Chain A
Amino acid sequence: MSYAETIDQAIANCKQQTVLMQRCLAQEKLMDALKHASIMLTELRSPLLSPKQYYELYISIYDSLSILSNYFVECHSKKHHLADLYELVQYAGNILPRLYLMITVGSAYLQSADAPREEIFKDMIEMCKGIQNPIRGLFLRYYLSQRTKQFFQAEDSETKKANVNFIITNFIEMNKLWVRLQHQGPLREREQRTRERKELKILIGANLMRLSQIAEADFKLYKDEILPLILEQVINCRDVVSQEYLLDVICQIFPGEFHLGTLAELLATSLKLNPTVPINKVVLTLVERLNGFIDRQENPDLDSVTRGLAFVDIGEENKNLFFMFWKFLNQLSEERPDLSLQELAPVIQGILKLTLRWYPDNVSNVNVLFNFMHEKCKEYGKALPEEYDFLFHDLLLAPELKSDTSFFLRLLTECEAYEGLLSAQNSNLQRECANEILDTLTGAEWRISSKPELEKILKLCGSLVESNSDKMSSSLILDEEDDLDSENWSFSPDQEKLAHITHLCDNKSIESHCELLLTCRNWFQKSGKNIKYHSPAIICNLWKLIRKCQLRINRKPEIREKLNGTMKQLFKHVSLIINDIYNACGGGCLDLLYKLNVQTASLADQAQLGDIAYDFFSQAFTIFEESLSDSRTQFQAIVNMAQTLQKTRSLYMDSHYETLITRCTLHGSKLLKKQDQCRAVYTCSHLWWATEISPLGEEEGVTESFFREGKRVLECLQRSLRVADSVMDNVQSCELMVEILDRCCYYYIHGDEASTHVGIKYINGLIELIKTNLDGLKLEVTSMIEDGPKLKTDCAYIGIDGCYIHRNSANSVAAVYTKPPASKTTLLNFIPVEHFNRTLKYIRDQKDVDDRFKAIVL
């Protein structure tokens, strides 16, 4: 007898023989039928088939043999006794067909009640030893297992045990054959063989599946009869593919509570595996199963879980899962010094997952794990390579850790080893982690209320604080040139996040809150120049505290004394931090320092602390005088000062107010550019004309006590007009005059000449002056008027700081220039002309509602 050369041919042969066999069975020619079956089975002897093809053929043959088997069962006792047939098939010529037929007959025989069950079982499994070729043997035994599976539904424990033994024996033999498959053939085909073996793994796994069906909920049977034998085989076979696969199947197939009861054995086994088996995989599968077990409990508190496990006899020492894994981890590190950090990290991560699921509140478990890892890092000796970054990142910021924010926060503040492990990483990773930690904190809107907590967080962010202060990293905002006077405000995202910490500080007590902020300040000192990023945030929080004091005083005037003391202290801290920035950055951020002083002053003023307000204002003046050099910076600074001073109310004592506003106006009049002087001085006129502050209950027309000196207002306007007149640029000069006219209208609305000193005569005179000056410009304009249509699309204006704003209909946004745009000179002439026309129209409109305006001659 021979076999086909290709799989197609083999299957065709099979089909043909099956048809013939069926025909013989119909004619009740049993011997002929067996002969055809035997020819068909010969195909299984083919050495030419790959495992996959062999499997295909096997399936086809299995179906054919089922026909035969059914026939046997039907005709048993009627036409022939199966005991006789069992004898008969022993005479088949070749061993492989013989054994297949034998199993077919044997399993059919087992279906009748009178069969000598145990003897048949024993005989079949003994005979299978006759095939030692791995593939043929594997499939033959698989056939045995498939044919016999229906007979394993025993109830009594003795039979169960016997069945288990039968399956395990078969399993062990199959596994041996499977392992042997690896070592056949030439060495260079090794990898291919490994691949082929993996295709066949299901044959072996089926046995374990059957065992789990028998064991069902019988833990004792599993623990005593099944698991030890399987594990023994796993260890003994020393084969990587087999060990990895079998442990995985054991974990997957048996229920989670069984694993709880046999954890020690499983872990012990994993220590004895072939060193090339990825141990982390085993641990992870096990952890997932154990965690899955909790997930499936309806009420996942630990007590009920333990109670649910009562029927599984877990020894006392096995109850603490974490402890068992911890013991395992120590053994692992002792017995397997060869394990790299790369292999160890996932194991730790697995155990981490376990403890987080089973002991969700236990920080010390996590601490122990991180500590272990930290030790390992130290043993590693050298700097950790970058390719390990993701491992430690996943460990330090595992999603399981972060998912419960309150636990994560406890971890950050209570877990010593967390910080240790973090500090062992390279600086890039540390920064990345610190960033993520801060994101999590701010995302959770966590409030830091105690100093130790805060210090812990700051320590964790040490990498950000101490990051190279000279190097700025930002793609969006560029640095200005390394000009000492210019401000270096490239905001690096890292520093931005550090600033967030100060906003997280919170404490009901003002003193404690302040202490937290000062702690931040002390830490940030280390970051050198970078403190300019976070210090304003600290100052802002101090401001808030000052405001808090102020509001408390309003509600409880009886504690004014005490709170005033606190406030003064807070102002001192603000001043200190402003100095810090100055010392660290020198000229790098003078405008910022100036504004901080101005705003702090206004807060002090609101708190009725006039002296302190005066100090901060004068500090701002000092910066202005000594350091602010850029003319545009100076202009906006002085105007901003005027705006702030105009809203103060507590400086009137000791003529602080007059000192300050005179000084402000003086500085305004001394600005470099004449147009800046002019604008600054007419703006400063408002310093002698206080207006209502509605939150204070002041009201125009009702409040009598406004600080107002019309004479000085007029003086300012006159002075600025003189400057405007002396400006050489005609356009700017006229524009400035129109702006002064606008101011005059403002004061004219506010009161009569008697109070504002800005009277009809002055306004009419100004209008005349502007008209005359504009005539010169208009001459130029009329000469250009031929280009009329073009002018409609382009418009130019002068902004509040004298910038030229050019609006083109093609763009929705205007372009702004600090210098007059050369190409648009004709357009510029229109600026004051049209502005003047608008102001005249406004005056005309006012005449309808206010009779006093009728006196203005247009």
Chain B
Amino acid sequence: MLLLALSDAHIPERAIDLPQKFKKLIGVPNKIQQVVLLGNCTKSHSFLKFVNQISSNVVIVRGEFDTKSVASTKNSREEIPLSTIIKQGDFTVGCCNGYTIVPKSDPLSLLTLARQLDVDIVLWGGTHNVEAYTLEGKFFINPGTCTGAFSTDWPQSQDPEPETEKSDADKAEASVTAANATANVTATATQTGASESDSEDEDENEGKSIPSFCLLDIQGSTCTLYIYTLADNEVKVDKVVYTKS
């Protein structure tokens, strides 16, 4: 089955619409079985309409700019949860915008969340930066912002040296790599290439994140992640395979 993860659209306060090229890719009815909106996606009538037409099975978690509730078809008004769990194939997937996770987007904090919710995959958002890695045998995916909306986080391009690896909490990192080596799990794909090119002409790209979204193809115990990014008006696709150990 195909699961589409969109996050941080921020329409209309930070972006006008999804990029046309994305719309063409995902705007096909009956192809995608489930859509997860990972926060800040509920303020545009037309966006929600578009998403509903991709699949009627839409899961929403609350971002910091979402209101407490949104109208749904089942219930006239449904409260949007901060976190929820989805079961697909052999996987349980935890979804959370992460605006209440401290420190923000910290891998160890996310790992704690994964443990609390007992999930294999964590989908989170809020950073406007696409990311995917495995830690302790769990798979962490942040689809970035689907519209390229402005983020008030520290700008990526400030670092003179490009970040090659998502390194946090040194010791944990060591254990991660060890765990990964034994479990034979692929882990890559942070948005490094993009942030390098950014620093070239910041003045043009300032405040614009790179639009991206993720598509998860879940078949039994295998999850194939496709990461779509739009750089220089070209859609790039990366593929990461994660198998449940």
Contacts and interface: CB of A to CB of B under 8 A. Distances in A.
Interface of A: 442, 474, 476-478, 480, 486-487, 489, 491-493, 496-497, 499-500, 503, 533-534, 536-537, 539-540, 543-544, 547-548, 550-552, 554-555, 591-592, 595, 599-600, 602-603, 606, 630, 632-633, 636, 639-640, 642-643, 646-647, 683-684, 686, 691-697, 699-701, 739, 742-743, 745-746, 749-750, 795, 797-801, 803, 805, 807, 809, 812-814, 816, 818, 834-835, 838-839, 842, 845-846, 849-850
Contacts of B103: 643, 646-647, 686, 691
A805 B159 contact: no
B154 A606 contact: yes
B244 interface: no
B118 A795 contact: yes
Contacts of B170: 700-701
Contacts of B115: 742, 835, 838-839, 842
Give the most central of A487, A491, A492, A646: most B CB within 10 Å. A491
B35 to A, nearest CB: 11
22 contacts: A477-B71, A480-B68, A492-B45, A496-B46, A540-B150, A543-B150, A547-B207, A551-B155, A551-B202, A551-B203, A551-B206, A636-B100, A646-B102, A683-B102, A694-B166, A695-B154, A697-B160, A800-B116, A801-B82, A807-B85, A814-B87, A849-B175
B237 interface: no
B86 A812 contact: yes
B108 interface: yes
A403 B83 CA distance: 46
Given A493-B46, A799-B82, A842-B136, A691 B168 contact: yes
Contact of B153 (A499, A500, A534, A647): A647
Contacts of B106: 691
B82 A633 contact: no
A643 B118 contact: no
A499 B104 contact: no
A562 to B, nearest CB: 16
B109 interface: yes
Contact of A478 (B65, B76, B100, B153): B76
B186 interface: no
Given A695-B158, A812-B34, A812-B86, A477 B102 contact: no
Interface of B: 10-17, 34, 42-46, 48-49, 57, 59, 62, 64-65, 67-71, 76-77, 79, 81-88, 92, 96, 99-104, 106, 108-109, 112-113, 115-118, 136, 150, 152-161, 163, 166-172, 174-175, 178-179, 202-203, 206-207
- The CB with the most chain A CB atoms within 10 A, among B15, B45, B168, is that of B45
Given A692-B168, A697-B160, A700-B170, A606 B155 contact: yes
Given A592-B65, A835-B116, A839-B115, A800 B13 contact: no
Contacts of A543: 150, 152, 207
Contacts of A745: 112
B136 A799 contact: no
Contacts of A474: 45
Given A555-B202, A699-B167, A742-B116, A814 B82 contact: no
Contacts of A550: 155
A797 B172 contact: no
Main secondary structure of the interface of B (DSSP, over half): loop
Given A442-B17, A797-B116, A476 B45 contact: yes
B45 A814 contact: no
Nearest to B202: A551
Given A695-B158, A745-B112, A814-B86, 18 more contacts: A442-B17, A476-B45, A476-B49, A489-B43, A491-B43, A493-B46, A537-B13, A554-B158, A639-B102, A640-B64, A640-B99, A643-B104, A647-B153, A799-B82, A812-B57, A812-B86, A839-B115, A850-B171
A496 B169 contact: no
Contacts of B206: 544, 547-548, 551
A649 to B, nearest CB: 9
A487 B67 contact: yes
Given A636-B82, A700-B167, A746 B112 contact: yes
Contacts of A496: 11-12, 43-46
A602 B126 CA distance: 15
A738 B10 CA distance: 35
Given A476-B45, A551-B157, A838 B118 contact: yes
Contacts of A801: 82-83, 100
B102 A442 contact: no
Nearest to A503: B16
A496 to B, nearest CB: 5
B113 A800 contact: yes
